[in-house]
Structure 1
């Protein structure tokens, strides 16, 4: 999953993140047991265990301590490395009935937690897609048909749904300058999207606003047709 913004804090279902705290503890326990009991039957040799944990630690430190921008997906290689010694630890622990039950309960708890997260993500994704489709339908209703241009927040997915090109003059998806955007708006039908309560940029204050039903309050500001030269 892609998290935005990366400073948003803990996940909504904080209880599903228990394994973030359990994983380093289990990895440390795997190292200790590997060093102490590596000669016991069925035990993992300490070398591969320590190597996997050390490599995972080296991969994690830059993202956890040295940069201000991070996301859980950056740690996936570290999770994969830690999974190896932790799996060996759990197999060893499962030799007793009590610990085997605890391991099974933890696995069931984790699977249930991921099922909850998946269900909510599916619902959120479906709602977001429906909002984009509703916005595209509203743009077509106000006369914005291909070839056309959409700009503003969420311009990329809404433009795709509407069959229009998209362009941004700021933010992470910046693809043009404001001057070029204004010039292009004189040549093709153009709409600027704004969320509820947000005014358009100064250059679009004279454009015609249209409320987009089913979008939670988005407004499309349509560039006036008189600004565009007539076609051939």
Structure 2
């Protein structure tokens, strides 16, 4: 939930993924259920096309190959969700980039040249910050902060073990008769786990940097199995010869986990609050020099005494422009079009070096400077 209030796609991708997988697993596929699968996959694909495809592949394979889930409605729902989410992306690819291949090439360049690699160490590094590790060469892994990467697989494994044991008990109960067909808890957890790993694989094997939010859909899909793992550990502990000792150990483990994670969350929340405060301070300086006038709507800045303004810069252009009531400049814009440049620890380009320069005081991150076009 750390990213839920941010204008980033990963939280919405995670919610769409959980909804799509959960509804896919329902034994009876009604029109409403199929519509939910379409909607969840469409949301995930619209937000992150690569995540949507990685999620759709195991679902489509399950709908085609696994007898329990083999049905025309599931296949059509998965294909419909992928198509509905990918269509706007494809249209934009031809409208702005000249085609799908050109857009994929441009995306690879922006992401630092996607290629086969192993970035697991980078994902271990970002567990204690920075929230965007790009590049990650100057940071190191703190084993204590990376304990989540050890705890989560253990809990998922315990959850799978517990539902497998439950399946064995069910088969014993049905000896002499056939069990009712349908989605068993084991099959459901296995498919969710496979889908989670499928979504994580591109980030671990292709992207040369890391951020915790990249794996939000993976964590969301693994949560049910991990929760079952927690319940299984509690049940095993209660059934042991010394349940008090076992429950105390589990309580200490939970306290240790919170002791590691809560300070990290508090620290990173403070960093984000400071960064957002800087945007407001930059906007104040812009307003003092006649640029902007308040946050804008989806179509145009709020009405005021100043005409619409355009900002460009080297960092955080979109949020600063929103707070200032301006439009963010695009890479293809003419170089002299922006009303102002917002730079941090950077010199202006040659065509803007004569523009009036205004420092932004009292910022959380130093080095903010505004250059206003005369």
- TM-score exceeds 0.5: yes
Q: Compare CA radii of gyration and give the structure with the larger one.
A: 1
**For the residues of structure 1 that align with 2:333 and 2:164, how far apart are their CA atoms?**
63
Give 3-state SS (helix, strand or coil) of 1:214's partner: coil
Structure 2 equivalent of residue 101 of structure 1 = 248
Q: CA deviation at 1:20?
A: 2.0
Aligned to 1:178: 333
Q: 1:126 to 1:25 in 2, by over 3 A?
A: closer
Change (3 A) 1:89 1:19: farther
In 2, Cα distance between the equivalents of 1:50 and 1:165?
49
**Which among 57, 68, 77 is matched to residue 207 of structure 2?**
68
Check 1:26–1:83 CA distance in 2 against 1; reply closer, same or farther (3 A cut): closer
CA distance, structure 1, for counterparts of residue 359 and residue 353 of structure 2: 15
Report the CA distance between 1:30 and its aligned residue.
Answer: 4.3
SS of the residue corresponding to residue 220 of structure 1 reads: strand
Q: Is the 8 A contact 2:155 2:226 kept in 1?
A: no
Is 2:164–2:186's contact at 8 Å kept on the other side of the alignment? Answer: no
Instruction: Please name the residue that 2:61 is paired with.
Output: none
- Whether contact under 8 Å (1:60, 1:78) holds in the other structure is no
1:147-166 matches, within 5 Å, as 147=307, 148-152=309-313, 153-166=315-328
| Correspondent of 2:280 among 133, 150, 172 | 133
Are residue 52 (structure 1) and residue 181 (structure 2) matched? no
Are the counterparts in 1 of residues 344 and 369 from structure 2 also a CA contact under 8 Å?
A: yes
Distance 1:84 1:53, change over 3 A: farther
CA positional deviation for 1:92: 1.5
Shift of 1:50: 5.7
Instruction: Report whether the alignment pairs 1:114 with 2:276.
Output: no
In 1: Cα distance, 2:146 partner to 2:190 partner: 20
Question: Using a 3 Å threshold, how does the CA distance of structure 1 residues 100 and 114 change in structure 2: closer, same or farther?
Answer: same
Q: TM-score, normalised by structure 2?
A: 0.47
The answer for the alignment partner of 1:12 in structure 2 is 128
Answer whether contact 2:160 2:225 (CA < 8 A) is retained.
Answer: no
SS of 1:28's equivalent? helix
How does the TM-score come out when normalised to structure 1?
Answer: 0.71
**Deviation per CA, 1:8-38, whole angstroms, max 9, x where unpaired?**
7332274343132122123334444655685
CA contact (8 A) 1:150 1:191 kept: yes
Question: What SS does the aligned partner of 1:10 have?
Answer: helix
Task: Please say if residues 30 and 85 of structure 1, whose CA atoms lie closer than 8 Å, have aligned partners that are also in contact.
Answer: yes
Kindly indicate whether the alpha-carbon contact (under 8 Å) linking 2:159 and 2:226 is maintained by their aligned counterparts in 1. Answer: no
In 1: Cα distance, 2:186 partner to 2:323 partner: 50
Deviation at 1:66, TM superposition (A): 4.5
Whether 2:344 is the aligned partner of 1:195: answer: yes
Q: Distance in 2 between matches of 1:88 and 1:53?
A: 17
String of CA shifts for 1:201-232, please: whole Å, max 9, x gaps: 233233222222123111111112xxxxxxxx
Are 1:218 and 2:373 matched, yes or no? no
Distance 2:244 2:186 in 1: 25
Distance in 2 separating the partners of 1:86 and 1:93: 10
1:79 aligns with 2:222: yes
- List runs of 5+ in structure 2 lacking aligned partners: 9-110, 112-118, 130-141, 171-183, 293-305
Distance 1:159 1:87 in 2: 45
Work out the number of aligned pairs and report it: 203
